Amino acid sequence: MLTFDNLSKTYADGTRALAGITAEVAAGEILALVGGSGCGKTTLLRLVAGLDRPSEGRIVLDGKAISEPRADVGVIFQEPRLFPWLSVADNVGFGLSELASAERRHRVGHALERVGLGGYDKRWPRELSGGQQQRVAIARALITRPKLLLMDEPFSALDATTRASLHEHLLALWQESRPTVVMVTHDVEEAVTLADRIMVMQPRPGRVFDELENPQARPRDHLSPAFEAAKREVLRTLDRSLRDDQPRQQKTAANAGLWW
């Protein structure tokens, strides 16, 4: 289980990127963070990754506070960030350098198959398209079998078709070991396709505006009424968050008086 305990981050220049975030993510859950730009989504992910330190509060993963990058946490960035001097296979196996080479080769081969890049092991990153490079990055992050996977708008630079196929690859990989996933996206369709829960955030200071459960069974039918309804709900919440409105529960509570 992943816990955010009254988490705040104020940058050196005084920007309050996050203030008082408290939340829990169950093991194996997929949580999507959505919200306008500047509401601290990237900051939150970097804190969880151990790349930055919180100013206040803590992040606890399975009973241990996170203060630096951990072996059981995988990260996929917005850009593929492959090492251009390593072949595709060596990029995917980057985190397995302690393993014997036969075992490593076996796991790299399997991971590449899983993202649909079997046979690409000897290619250089520059020979791949953007979508293929991002698939290599996914394989690189998942090959160490992390308990927690963090993704910051991982598919935002890709076209809709590539994105849809990557969603499938990702879910297939997720089903293998069921890691907890925290992902940032600005694509509502993507959030409703992948996530069990959607957290809508608001800026200045970065905080949680509202949370929406999305308990649809997988695989999800994009044309089903339930999917459409969930999408509309997220869009509506996002819209309210951008208009700096009150969150759903509080609003109904506040309005109750007017109704009577």
Partner 1 sequence: MSAIEIGTAAAAPEAVPAKRAGRAQLRLAGLVLPVVLAVIWEALVRAGLANGRLMPPPSVVGATLWELAASGELATHAAATLWRVLAGFGLGALAGTVLGALTGALPVARGLLDPTLQALRAIPSIAWVPLFILWFGIFEASKVALIAVGVFFPIYLGVAAAILSIDRKIVEVGRVFRLGRLAMVRRVLLPAILPDWFTALRGGLGLGFMFVVAAEIMGASEGLGYLLVDGQQLGRPATIIAAIISFAVLGKLADGVLVALARPFLRWQDTARDKL
Assess 205 for contact with ligand ADP (CB under 6 A): no
CA distance 201 to 124: 38
Both structure tokens of 217: 């069974």
Structure tokens given for 157: 């630079």
Q: Which residues pair with 25 in a beta bridge?
A: 2
User: Rounded to whole angstroms, how far apart are CA atoms 136 and 169?
Assistant: 11
Please give the backbone phi and psi of residue 229, each rounded to the nearest 5 degrees, phi first: -65, -45
**Nearest CB to ligand ADP, comparing residues 15 and 87:** 15
Count of residues binding ligand ADP (CB under 6 A)? 12
Q: Which residue is nearest to Mg ion (CB)?
A: 42
Choose the binding region for ligand ADP from 7-15, 58-66, 95-103, 134-142 (rule: CB under 6 A). 7-15
Which 3 state secondary structure label does DSSP give 74? strand
- Of 35-43, 102-110, 111-119, 236-244, the window that binds ligand ADP (rule: CB under 6 A) is 35-43
Cβ closest to Mg ion, residue 7 vs residue 92: 7
Contact positions vs partner 1 (CB under 8 A) = 49, 51, 68-71, 73-75, 77, 79, 81, 83-87, 94-95, 97, 124, 126
User: What is the total residue count of the chain?
Assistant: 260
Q: Which of these ranges, 39-47, 57-65, 131-139, 236-244, lies near ligand ADP under the rule CB under 6 A? A: 39-47
N-terminal to C-terminal alpha carbon distance within the chain: 42
User: Is-contact 182 59, C-beta < 8 A?
Assistant: no
Smallest distance from Mg ion to CB 93, Å: 28
Q: Is 83 in the site for ligand ADP (CB under 6 A)?
A: no
- In the list 13, 85, 161, 243, the residue contacting ligand ADP (rule: CB under 6 A) is 13
Selection from partner 1, ligand ADP, Mg ion, none that 49 binds (CB < 5 to 8 A by kind) is partner 1
Indicate the residue among 49 and 115 with the shorter CB distance to ligand ADP.
49
Compute CA distances 202 → 18, 21, 199, whole Å: 10, 11, 10
Is residue 30 a contact partner of residue 13, using CB atoms and an 8 Å limit? no
The candidate with the shortest Cα–Cα distance to 36, out of 244, 249, 247, is 244
**Smallest distance from the beta carbon of 220 to Mg ion, in angstroms?**
25
Cβ(208)–Cβ(41) below 8 Å: no
Residue 42 sits in the site that holds Mg ion (CB under 5 A): yes
Give yes or no for residue 19 binding ligand ADP (CB under 6 A).
Answer: no
Query: In the bound complex, what is the minimum distance in angstroms from residue 87's beta carbon to partner 1?
Result: 8
Pairing between β-strand 30-34 and β-strand 73-76 as defined by DSSP bridges: unpaired
Q: Which parts of this chain interact with ligand ADP (CB under 6 A)?
A: 11, 13, 15, 17, 37-43, 206
Q: Which parts of this chain interact with Mg ion (CB under 5 A)?
A: 42
